[in-house]
Amino acid sequence: MPKILAALMIILWIGMVVTRIIMLRRRGVEAMNFGMLDKTDFIIPPLALFFFYLVFAHALSLPTISRQEFFQSAVIAWVGVGLCLVTVLLMAWCLVSFGHSFRVGIDTQHPDKLVTTGIYAYSRNPIYVAFAIGLLGQWLVFPNWIVLLFLLAAGWLFNRQVRREEGFLKIHYGEQYAQYCSRVRRYL
Protein backbone atom coordinates (compact mmCIF):
# COMPACT_ATOMS: atom_id res chain seq x y z
CA MET A 1 0.00 0.00 0.00
CA PRO A 2 2.75 2.59 0.73
CA LYS A 3 4.20 2.06 -2.76
CA ILE A 4 0.88 2.76 -4.47
CA LEU A 5 0.25 5.83 -2.30
CA ALA A 6 3.75 7.21 -2.94
CA ALA A 7 3.32 6.75 -6.68
CA LEU A 8 -0.08 8.48 -6.57
CA MET A 9 1.52 11.43 -4.75
CA ILE A 10 3.62 12.08 -7.87
CA ILE A 11 0.42 12.40 -9.87
CA LEU A 12 -0.86 14.90 -7.28
CA TRP A 13 2.38 16.94 -7.46
CA ILE A 14 2.30 17.13 -11.24
CA GLY A 15 -1.43 17.72 -11.27
CA MET A 16 -1.16 20.67 -8.91
CA VAL A 17 1.53 22.37 -11.00
CA VAL A 18 -0.19 21.68 -14.33
CA THR A 19 -3.53 22.90 -12.95
CA ARG A 20 -1.91 26.17 -11.82
CA ILE A 21 -0.25 26.62 -15.22
CA ILE A 22 -3.59 26.10 -16.98
CA MET A 23 -5.41 28.46 -14.61
CA LEU A 24 -2.83 31.19 -15.19
CA ARG A 25 -2.87 30.65 -18.96
CA ARG A 26 -6.64 31.25 -18.93
CA ARG A 27 -5.90 34.60 -17.30
CA GLY A 28 -3.35 35.47 -19.97
CA VAL A 29 -0.25 34.58 -17.94
CA GLU A 30 2.29 32.28 -19.60
CA ALA A 31 3.62 30.46 -16.56
CA MET A 32 5.63 27.79 -18.40
CA ASN A 33 9.07 29.26 -19.09
CA PHE A 34 11.17 26.19 -18.36
CA GLY A 35 14.26 25.87 -20.51
CA MET A 36 13.90 29.29 -22.13
CA LEU A 37 17.20 30.63 -20.77
CA ASP A 38 19.33 27.50 -20.73
CA LYS A 39 18.78 24.94 -23.47
CA THR A 40 20.73 22.32 -21.50
CA ASP A 41 17.57 21.91 -19.41
CA PHE A 42 16.20 19.73 -22.23
CA ILE A 43 17.68 16.72 -20.44
CA ILE A 44 15.54 17.19 -17.32
CA PRO A 45 12.07 16.18 -18.67
CA PRO A 46 13.22 12.79 -20.04
CA LEU A 47 15.02 12.05 -16.78
CA ALA A 48 11.93 13.06 -14.80
CA LEU A 49 9.77 10.77 -16.95
CA PHE A 50 12.26 7.95 -16.37
CA PHE A 51 12.06 8.57 -12.61
CA PHE A 52 8.25 8.51 -12.75
CA TYR A 53 8.38 5.22 -14.65
CA LEU A 54 10.76 3.72 -12.06
CA VAL A 55 8.44 4.65 -9.22
CA PHE A 56 5.36 3.31 -10.97
CA ALA A 57 7.24 0.19 -12.12
CA HIS A 58 8.15 -0.59 -8.52
CA ALA A 59 4.66 0.20 -7.26
CA LEU A 60 2.88 -1.84 -9.95
CA SER A 61 5.46 -4.63 -10.39
CA LEU A 62 6.27 -3.61 -13.97
CA PRO A 63 9.66 -4.32 -15.57
CA THR A 64 12.42 -2.11 -14.23
CA ILE A 65 16.21 -1.85 -14.23
CA SER A 66 16.79 -2.97 -10.66
CA ARG A 67 14.66 -4.14 -7.77
CA GLN A 68 17.56 -4.18 -5.34
CA GLU A 69 16.68 -2.32 -2.15
CA PHE A 70 18.95 -1.02 0.59
CA PHE A 71 16.44 -2.00 3.27
CA GLN A 72 12.86 -3.19 3.72
CA SER A 73 10.81 -1.59 6.44
CA ALA A 74 7.09 -0.96 6.46
CA VAL A 75 7.54 1.75 9.12
CA ILE A 76 10.13 3.63 7.05
CA ALA A 77 7.95 3.25 3.94
CA TRP A 78 5.02 4.84 5.79
CA VAL A 79 7.30 7.67 6.96
CA GLY A 80 8.12 8.14 3.27
CA VAL A 81 4.42 8.33 2.41
CA GLY A 82 4.04 10.91 5.19
CA LEU A 83 6.83 13.00 3.66
CA CYS A 84 5.12 12.73 0.28
CA LEU A 85 1.91 14.00 1.86
CA VAL A 86 3.82 16.87 3.51
CA THR A 87 5.06 17.72 0.02
CA VAL A 88 1.49 17.93 -1.29
CA LEU A 89 0.54 20.28 1.55
CA LEU A 90 3.66 22.45 1.14
CA MET A 91 3.15 22.67 -2.60
CA ALA A 92 -0.45 23.73 -2.12
CA TRP A 93 0.72 26.45 0.29
CA CYS A 94 3.40 27.51 -2.20
CA LEU A 95 0.93 27.77 -5.07
CA VAL A 96 -1.56 29.74 -2.99
CA SER A 97 1.18 32.07 -1.72
CA PHE A 98 2.56 32.57 -5.23
CA GLY A 99 -0.77 33.73 -6.63
CA HIS A 100 -0.37 35.06 -10.18
CA SER A 101 3.40 35.25 -9.81
CA PHE A 102 3.86 31.46 -10.24
CA ARG A 103 6.23 30.48 -13.06
CA VAL A 104 8.01 27.30 -14.07
CA GLY A 105 11.40 28.65 -15.06
CA ILE A 106 12.56 32.25 -15.23
CA ASP A 107 10.21 34.69 -16.96
CA THR A 108 12.42 37.55 -18.08
CA GLN A 109 9.71 39.01 -20.33
CA HIS A 110 6.81 39.31 -17.87
CA PRO A 111 8.02 38.90 -14.30
CA ASP A 112 5.39 39.56 -11.69
CA LYS A 113 5.73 41.02 -8.20
CA LEU A 114 8.22 39.63 -5.70
CA VAL A 115 6.35 37.27 -3.38
CA THR A 116 7.51 37.55 0.25
CA THR A 117 4.38 36.53 2.15
CA GLY A 118 2.72 33.24 3.02
CA ILE A 119 5.20 30.38 3.00
CA TYR A 120 7.71 32.71 1.29
CA ALA A 121 8.06 34.54 4.59
CA TYR A 122 9.81 31.39 5.91
CA SER A 123 11.77 30.15 2.89
CA ARG A 124 12.78 31.86 -0.34
CA ASN A 125 12.45 28.57 -2.21
CA PRO A 126 9.78 26.48 -0.50
CA ILE A 127 8.66 24.71 -3.66
CA TYR A 128 12.16 23.27 -4.09
CA VAL A 129 12.20 22.33 -0.41
CA ALA A 130 8.83 20.61 -0.92
CA PHE A 131 10.08 18.66 -3.93
CA ALA A 132 13.23 17.63 -2.06
CA ILE A 133 11.14 16.39 0.87
CA GLY A 134 8.93 14.50 -1.57
CA LEU A 135 11.89 12.88 -3.30
CA LEU A 136 13.31 11.86 0.06
CA GLY A 137 9.91 10.35 0.84
CA GLN A 138 9.96 8.49 -2.47
CA TRP A 139 13.38 7.08 -1.63
CA LEU A 140 12.17 5.89 1.77
CA VAL A 141 9.33 4.05 0.03
CA PHE A 142 11.51 2.83 -2.85
CA PRO A 143 15.00 2.50 -1.28
CA ASN A 144 16.68 1.66 -4.57
CA TRP A 145 20.08 2.91 -5.72
CA ILE A 146 18.56 4.46 -8.86
CA VAL A 147 16.01 6.43 -6.84
CA LEU A 148 18.85 7.54 -4.55
CA LEU A 149 20.80 8.78 -7.60
CA PHE A 150 17.75 10.75 -8.71
CA LEU A 151 17.38 12.23 -5.22
CA LEU A 152 21.02 13.38 -5.22
CA ALA A 153 20.86 14.68 -8.80
CA ALA A 154 17.64 16.55 -8.04
CA GLY A 155 19.29 18.25 -5.06
CA TRP A 156 22.07 19.46 -7.34
CA LEU A 157 19.60 20.58 -10.05
CA PHE A 158 17.39 22.39 -7.53
CA ASN A 159 20.36 24.31 -6.17
CA ARG A 160 21.51 25.14 -9.72
CA GLN A 161 18.07 26.50 -10.62
CA VAL A 162 17.78 28.45 -7.37
CA ARG A 163 21.10 30.18 -8.07
CA ARG A 164 19.92 31.09 -11.57
CA GLU A 165 16.67 32.48 -10.23
CA GLU A 166 18.46 34.42 -7.50
CA GLY A 167 20.73 36.02 -10.09
CA PHE A 168 17.71 37.20 -12.05
CA LEU A 169 15.85 38.36 -8.93
CA LYS A 170 18.86 40.38 -7.73
CA ILE A 171 18.99 42.23 -11.02
CA HIS A 172 15.24 42.66 -11.44
CA TYR A 173 14.19 43.56 -7.88
CA GLY A 174 17.45 45.05 -6.58
CA GLU A 175 17.33 46.35 -3.03
CA GLN A 176 13.87 44.90 -2.36
CA TYR A 177 15.24 41.42 -3.05
CA ALA A 178 18.42 42.08 -1.05
CA GLN A 179 16.32 43.05 1.99
CA TYR A 180 14.17 39.95 1.53
CA CYS A 181 17.32 37.78 1.41
CA SER A 182 18.55 39.32 4.65
CA ARG A 183 15.28 38.32 6.41
CA VAL A 184 14.53 34.90 4.88
CA ARG A 185 16.76 31.88 4.36
CA ARG A 186 17.35 30.34 0.97
CA TYR A 187 15.89 26.95 1.93
CA LEU A 188 15.04 26.31 5.58
Q: Which long-range contacts (CB under 8 A, 24 or more apart) does 161-166 make?
A: 161/128, 162/125, 162/128, 162/186, 164/37, 164/38, 164/106, 165/106, 165/125, 166/124
Q: What is the mean pLDDT of each run of 10 residues along the chain (188 residues)?
A: 96 92 86 70 83 93 89 96 97 91 76 89 96 97 94 93 92 95 96
Domain 2-183 belongs in CATH node 1.20.120.1630? yes
Residue 9's pLDDT is 95
**How many angstroms separate the CA atoms of 98 and 127, rounded?**
10
Distance CA 26, CA 11 (A): 22
pLDDT score, position 90 = 97
Closest by alpha carbon to 172, among 99, 108, 95, 80?
A: 108
This prediction's pTM: 0.90
What is the per-residue pLDDT for 70? 93
